[in-house]
Amino acid sequence: MNIEYANRIKQLPPYLFEEIDKAKQKALSEGRPIIDLGVGDPDGATPDFIVKKLHEASLDSATHKYALNKGLSILRERMAVWYKDRFNVELDPDTEILPLLGSKDGIAHVPLAFINPADVVLVPSPGYPPYVSGTIFAGGKVHYMPLKAENDFLPDLDNIDEKVAANAKLMHLNYPNNPTGGVCDISFYEKVADFAKKHNIIVCSDAAYTEISFDGYVPSSFLEVPSAKEVGIEFHSLSKTFNMTGWRIGMAVGNKDILQGLAKVKSNVDSGVFTPIQYAAIEALKHALELKPKFNGEYAKRRDTLVDGLNEVGWKIPKPVATFYVWAPVFGDYDSASLAKALLEKTDIVATPGNGFGEAGEGYVRMALTVGSDKLQEVVRRIKEKFF
């Protein structure tokens, strides 16, 4: 039998993290002392009280049935409380909040609700791969918005061609930014909202890293702009905020009509978040303010260990004020891929080539602060020994 993939699958670029994992697994099978800075998966355990709540809820057989796609009302109410406390944004739990199987679920599926063939989706480059794959699955056309250091890793909205803007139906944004660590302020979000209203574009703000920040910087929400709910929604995830990447729980919030479209897609492709996980998420959100300083203190220590250490040995790297990623310019005659390859081959360090996040990521590698400071000190030692 001849098995042939659909054209939409053939259009997909290789999924970056699968390729990295293959190289890592090969090195591990050879017994090499790998230090993995590739994938942004926190190494810390989910807090005990969250795990305990999952266990307690799972003992009730009533929680073993299909979950509603809208999620528990008490979960949506707690999400609304968290948004109010954190961003001073009012949300209607019944119409303006949709629980997700992680933010990736919503990001990948939202184009299916709104994108037709020939519709354009504005995507940051470099950026999170599902912005592109979700567009391809929906049959849309990707238009890349380059994120450059000289523009503080913000898309230049004024430089988007009017014809492209006229055909655009959806825009993805992500601040604090993965992979660059770039940040934005409310004035940028105001400009985005005005641009979206002018061109009738849905804004999808990926806010997965708003709770990881340093040096007094406090990230904002797109929804803090008064007109933002007219044009867009925001995705948030408990994955990075609470060390819950494997649990698959997040939310989409904002414009009720956009959320209804996403909900229609989801009702046809999944059956909601496992109910005990919803109860655990409620417990997590109750304790968000007390957990944040602890987690961010640890990430700040790791950031300083790696960035200060590498700067001392001669690799000049800007220090990020948010996310747990270090966006490091290549040096010497290396490009993104060759430096990532050399790091693995010479030092047994896994880093992510920047061009894997999009063409505009060329010239960088990304390193995740998802190992302890002792290992990061070893990273600095190995790189100094082999490269500097």
187-234 pLDDT, tens digit each: 999 999 999 999 999 999 999 999 999 999 999 999 999 999 999 999
Q: pLDDT at residue 283 above 90?
A: yes
Q: Is 229 part of any domain?
A: yes
What's the mean pLDDT in 138-155? 97
Shared-domain flag, residues 186 and 312: no
What's the mean pLDDT in 122-127? 98
CATH of the domain at 341: 3.90.1150.10
- In a 10 Å sphere around its CB, with 0-12 CB exposed, 13-18 middle and 19+ buried, how is residue 298 labelled? middle
Residue 120 three-state SS: strand
Shared-domain flag, residues 67 and 133: yes
**Token pair belonging to 360:** 């505009």
16 or 265, higher pLDDT: 265
Q: How would residue 16 be classed by pLDDT, with cut points 50, 70 and 90? A: low
Q: pLDDT at residue 330 above 70?
A: yes
Provide the pLDDT for residue 56.
Answer: 98
Q: pLDDT at residue 103 above 70?
A: yes
Shared-domain flag, residues 273 and 326: no
Please give the model's pTM, rounded to 2 decimal places.
Answer: 0.96
Shared-domain flag, residues 174 and 224: yes
Shared-domain flag, residues 135 and 156: yes
Provide the pLDDT for residue 13.
Answer: 80
65 or 25, higher pLDDT: 65
67, 73, 78, 80: CA torsion to nearest 10: 110
What's the mean pLDDT in 268-284? 97
Q: What is the domain range of residue 294? A: 7-45+290-387
Helices (H), the chain: 7-11, 16-29, 48-58, 73-87, 103-114, 130-137, 162-167, 186-199, 228-231, 238-241, 256-269, 275-286, 288-313, 336-347, 373-387
Neighbours of 48 (CB within 10 A): 8
Q: Is 357 part of any domain?
A: yes
Provide the pLDDT for residue 114.
Answer: 98
| Count of domains forming the chain | 2
What's the mean pLDDT in 40-61? 97
The least confident of 17-21, 63-67, 230-234 is: 17-21
Shared-domain flag, residues 231 and 95: yes
Q: Is 2 part of any domain?
A: no
Domain end point (choices 288, 318, 335): 288
Provide the pLDDT for residue 42.
Answer: 94
Domain end point (choices 250, 272, 288): 288
Q: Is 340 part of any domain?
A: yes
Q: Is 1 part of any domain?
A: no
CATH of the domain at 170: 3.40.640.10
Q: Is 19 part of any domain?
A: yes
Domain end point (choices 288, 317, 352): 288
Shared-domain flag, residues 118 and 141: yes
Shared-domain flag, residues 98 and 192: yes
Give the span between the Cα atoms of 190 and 232, in whole angstroms: 12
Shared-domain flag, residues 239 and 343: no
Give the span between the Cα atoms of 298 and 305, in whole angstroms: 11
User: Under a CB-based contact definition with an 8 Å cutoff, are residues 359 and 144 in contact?
Assistant: yes
Shared-domain flag, residues 321 and 225: no
Shared-domain flag, residues 284 and 315: no
Provide the pLDDT for residue 39.
Answer: 86
Give the span between the Cα atoms of 35 and 367, in whole angstroms: 11
Whose CA is closest to 370, among 247, 207, 206, 243?
243
Shared-domain flag, residues 307 and 334: yes
Give the span between the Cα atoms of 125 and 148, in whole angstroms: 9
CA 99 to chain centre: 16
What's the mean pLDDT in 329-347? 95
289 or 384, higher pLDDT: 384
CA 212 to chain centre: 12
What is the DSSP secondary structure assignment for residue 66, as one 8-state letter? Answer: P
